[in-house]
């Protein structure tokens, strides 16, 4: 077969994948904008708990692509996995809509449905994400592979148009706050419903157009069943099938168990974070043990692993957008934007907006530098991205140092942070996707995209852990003051809180509740707080529907005796303290943001230092 003629433009299939991914990102980012606020306001979780769930959920979303990549490469193919993943995510969003509909009458059921919904989205994302990304690279003939950085930047613009739309529409529908500052906690469900509809639209778009446009340069359908792959689908001299030995498979299983025990018992990670870290590392080791790999292929895969490690620190900082930065926007930010009070979940919109605006200029920049033979290699671009996010977090750390616990952060500083983070993202995320596409052997393409997304998974998990160390923001001090509790004095150990004060802080979601001790002494603090919230929700519902409110709870269901309050204090069932990280106490927002400055700054410096070695290991790929 003769060489495919070099074309000047991009194949039409890129725009089909662009549109499909756009609607999927609408679904994902729209839900992400609302998730932590829904957990805290409707399902009555503490911000710390919501951050951990958020990080674990996002981490699992980027761990399951390894499963989806494996299933696609071996059994179903890219196309079928994309359709299966899209439908599963739409169902997950409908479950979140259901959770947002029933929490007022049955909080436990709503929480269970919420977890089921997140689980469906996790698995759907796993089948969808690696397969649509790997198909982008397959649209281009060998002589046009240099276009991949530009192609992935265009593809990434589609991602962020969807993110922009999702972060606009879902908060407008779901994050409703009246002029008095009172949030309608029953409105979140409409945002989740909009996300479900968007995912269905994306799935239908792909189903209708895939056969006509998502084709190889020779015109053959891409992403079909693996059993129907032909020799032209592989690079010359490349093995067409992975060859994992029994010894390698057993070794990976043993490594998974040992790593799991280490992360869970030595490092104290929860089960979800343990699964993310240990399974990802074990699978990465399994791939590199494949006996069919040549030295060049193995070197290139090691480059993917190395850059993936450093990307972890980028995503740990970047994904504070949906947790700590959203809580700060909600609790301690003046959100007036040209006279309009923005919903806190909508502040994230600027990331998607800036990507849409800047994606083409960045693409043109790389093309210009390539034409001048001055384009930096991909690892250098990634290191530049890490430097930029370091600068953005240092900027916000400086600003919050001026406001203390009583002032408000001007929303313009969060907008500037999202601008700098977007510039960093455009140097890192699409370039990383392109690098994996260029370095991956065909037989491992989807699986190595899955491994690359493991860096996202680990970054989100680390981000969830770091988000949970957010110290009390100004609203917490004001809320405590309203119930006659001096929170600052208690945190600084100047005074000791009594049982009544501790219970009051627990109701405000400021104090920590030891569930084991609560069970041991038969003082279910969480249940009483749930009962109080249910009474409030039922009152609001009765007022809306003009129905007489009937309180079915007794005083015993919502309060403790003096003796019980003394036990809560003496046995430390409820405690209040500053968060800690790596042995350091985080007293304020400045110290919190400096954690990210240090982590990303060190990662940037080390990656820059490794660049000459990575260039050699890439064997000519830039």
- Report pLDDT for 233: 53
Mean pLDDT of the chain: 86
Consecutive H or E run containing 585:
strand 584-585
Note the Cα 112 to chain centre separation in Å. 21
Q: How confident is the model at residue 4 (pLDDT cuts 50, 70, 90)?
A: very low
In sequence order, which residues have a C-beta less than 8 Å from that of residue 177 and are 6 or more positions away? 183, 184, 341, 343
Using CA atoms, how far residue 165 sits from 18, 102, 335, 351, 425, in Å, is 14, 27, 20, 11, 18
* CA-based nearest residue to 451, from 37, 81, 9, 134: 134
Answer whether residue 437 shows pLDDT above 80: no
Find which of 140-144, 388-392, 468-472 is predicted with most confidence, using mean pLDDT: 388-392
The share of the chain scoring above pLDDT 90, in percent, equals 40
Using CA atoms, how far residue 118 sits from 56, 125, 198, 325, 429, in Å, is 10, 10, 17, 21, 24
Question: CA angle 505-511-517, nearest 5°?
Answer: 115
Taking the C-alpha atoms of residue 438 and residue 146, their distance in angstroms, rounded to an integer, is 9
Contact 47, 509 (CB under 8 A): yes
- Among 64-78, 300-314, 416-430, the minimum mean pLDDT is found in 64-78
- Report pLDDT for 596: 96
Answer whether residue 26 shows pLDDT above 60: yes
* CA-based nearest residue to 421, from 441, 457, 392, 444: 392
Answer whether residue 467 shows pLDDT above 60: yes
Supply the Cα-derived Rg of the chain in whole angstroms: 25
At 45, list the tokens. 């979780």
Answer whether residue 1 shows pLDDT above 70: no
Contact 557, 545 (CB under 8 A): no
Answer whether residue 190 shows pLDDT above 90: yes
- Report pLDDT for 3: 44
At 537, list the tokens. 């929700």
Q: What is the pLDDT of residues 575-617, one digit of tens each?
A: 999 999 888 999 999 999 999 999 999 999 999 999 898 888 8
* CA-based nearest residue to 157, from 147, 145, 165: 165
Q: How confident is the model at residue 172 (pLDDT cuts 50, 70, 90)?
A: very high
Strands 333-334 and 409-410: parallel
**Neighbour count for residue 273 (Cβ, 10 Å):** 25
- Report pLDDT for 227: 61
Q: Bridge-partner residues for 512, per DSSP?
A: 575
- Report pLDDT for 213: 79
Taking the C-alpha atoms of residue 454 and residue 466, their distance in angstroms, rounded to an integer, is 18
Q: What is the pLDDT of residues 293-308, one digit of tens each?
A: 888 888 888 888 898 8
Taking the C-alpha atoms of residue 584 and residue 578, their distance in angstroms, rounded to an integer, is 10
Q: Does 292 or 197 have the greater pLDDT score?
A: 197
- Report pLDDT for 231: 52
Taking the C-alpha atoms of residue 529 and residue 534, their distance in angstroms, rounded to an integer, is 9
Answer whether residue 16 shows pLDDT above 80: yes
Taking the C-alpha atoms of residue 382 and residue 380, their distance in angstroms, rounded to an integer, is 5
Question: CA angle 384-385-389, nearest 5°?
Answer: 120
The share of the chain scoring above pLDDT 70, in percent, equals 93
Strands (E) located in 258-410: 333-334, 336-337, 340-341, 409-410
Taking the C-alpha atoms of residue 510 and residue 284, their distance in angstroms, rounded to an integer, is 40
Answer whether residue 114 shows pLDDT above 90: yes
Contact 610, 380 (CB under 8 A): no
Contact 127, 351 (CB under 8 A): no
- Report pLDDT for 272: 85
Answer whether residue 316 shows pLDDT above 90: yes
Q: What is the pLDDT of residues 66-113, one digit of tens each?
A: 778 778 877 888 888 999 999 999 999 999 999 999 988 888 899 999
Question: CA angle 497-495-578, nearest 5°?
Answer: 75
């Amino acid at each position: 077969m003769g060489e495919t003629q070099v074309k000047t433009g991009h194949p039409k299939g890129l725009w089909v994948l662009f549109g499909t991914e756009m609607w999927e990102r609408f679904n994902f980012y729209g839900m992400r904008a609302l998730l932590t606020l829904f957990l805290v306001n409707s399902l009555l979780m503490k911000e710390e708990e919501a951050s951990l769930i958020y990080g674990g959920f996002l981490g699992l979303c980027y761990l399951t692509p390894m499963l989806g990549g494996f299933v696609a490469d071996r059994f179903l193919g890219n196309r079928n996995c994309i359709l299966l993943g899209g439908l599963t995510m739409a169902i997950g969003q409908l479950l979140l809509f259901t959770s947002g509909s029933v929490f007022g009458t049955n909080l436990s059921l709503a929480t269970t449905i919420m977890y089921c919904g997140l689980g469906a989205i996790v698995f759907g994302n796993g089948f969808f994400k690696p397969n649509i990304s790997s198909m982008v690279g397959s649209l281009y003939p060998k002589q046009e592979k240099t276009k991949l950085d530009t192609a992935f930047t265009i593809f990434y613009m589609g991602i962020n148009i969807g993110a922009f739309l999702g972060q606009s529409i879902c908060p407008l529908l779901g994050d409703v706050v009246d002029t008095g500052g009172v949030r309608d906690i029953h409105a979140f469900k409409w945002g989740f419903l909009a996300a479900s509809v968007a995912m269905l639209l994306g799935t239908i778009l792909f189903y209708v157009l895939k056969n006509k446009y998502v084709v190889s340069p020779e015109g053959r359908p891409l992403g079909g069943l693996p059993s129907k792959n032909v020799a032209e689908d592989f690079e010359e001299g490349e093995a067409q099938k992975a060859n994992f030995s029994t010894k390698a498979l057993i070794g990976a299983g043993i490594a998974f168990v040992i790593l799991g025990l280490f992360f869970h018992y030595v490092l104290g990670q929860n089960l979800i974070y343990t699964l993310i870290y240990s399974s990802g590392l074990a699978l990465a080791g399994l791939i590199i043990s494949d006996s069919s790999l040549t030295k060049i292929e193995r070197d290139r895969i090691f480059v993917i692993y190395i850059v993936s490690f450093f990307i972890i620190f980028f995503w740990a900082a970047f994904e504070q957008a949906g947790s700590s930065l959203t809580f700060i926007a909600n609790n301690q930010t003046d959100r007036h934007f040209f006279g309009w009070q923005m919903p806190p979940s909508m502040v994230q919109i600027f990331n998607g907006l800036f990507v849409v605006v800047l994606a083409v200029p960045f693409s043109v920049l790389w093309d210009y530098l390539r034409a001048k033979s001055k384009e930096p290699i991909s690892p250098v671009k990634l290191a530049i991205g890490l430097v930029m996010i370091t600068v953005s977090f240092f900027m916000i750390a400086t600003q919050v140092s001026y406001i203390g616990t009583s002032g408000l952060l001007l929303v313009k500083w969060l907008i500037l942070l999202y601008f700098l983070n977007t510039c960093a993202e455009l140097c890192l995320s699409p370039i990383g996707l392109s690098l994996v596409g260029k370095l991956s052997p065909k037989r491992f393409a989807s699986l190595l995209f899955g491994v690359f997304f493991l860096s996202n998974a680990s970054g989100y998990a680390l981000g969830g852990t770091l988000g949970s160390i957010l110290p009390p923001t100004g609203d917490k001090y004001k809320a405590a003051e309203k119930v006659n509790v001096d929170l600052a004095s208690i945190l600084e150990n100047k005074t000791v809180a009594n049982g009544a004060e501790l219970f009051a802080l627990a109701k405000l979601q400021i104090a920590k509740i030891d569930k084991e001790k609560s069970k041991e002494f038969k003082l279910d603090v969480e249940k009483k707080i749930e009962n109080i919230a249910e009474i409030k929700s039922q009152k609001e519902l009765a007022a809306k529907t003009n129905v007489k409110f009937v309180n079915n709870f007794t005083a015993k269901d919502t309060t403790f005796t003096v003796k019980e309050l003394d036990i809560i204090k003496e046995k430390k069932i409820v405690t209040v303290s500053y968060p800690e990280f790596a042995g350091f106490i985080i007293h304020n927002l400045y110290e919190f943001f400096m954690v990210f400055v240090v982590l990303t700054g060190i990662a940037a410096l080390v990656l820059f230092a490794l660049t000459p070695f990575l260039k050699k290991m890439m064997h000519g790929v830039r």
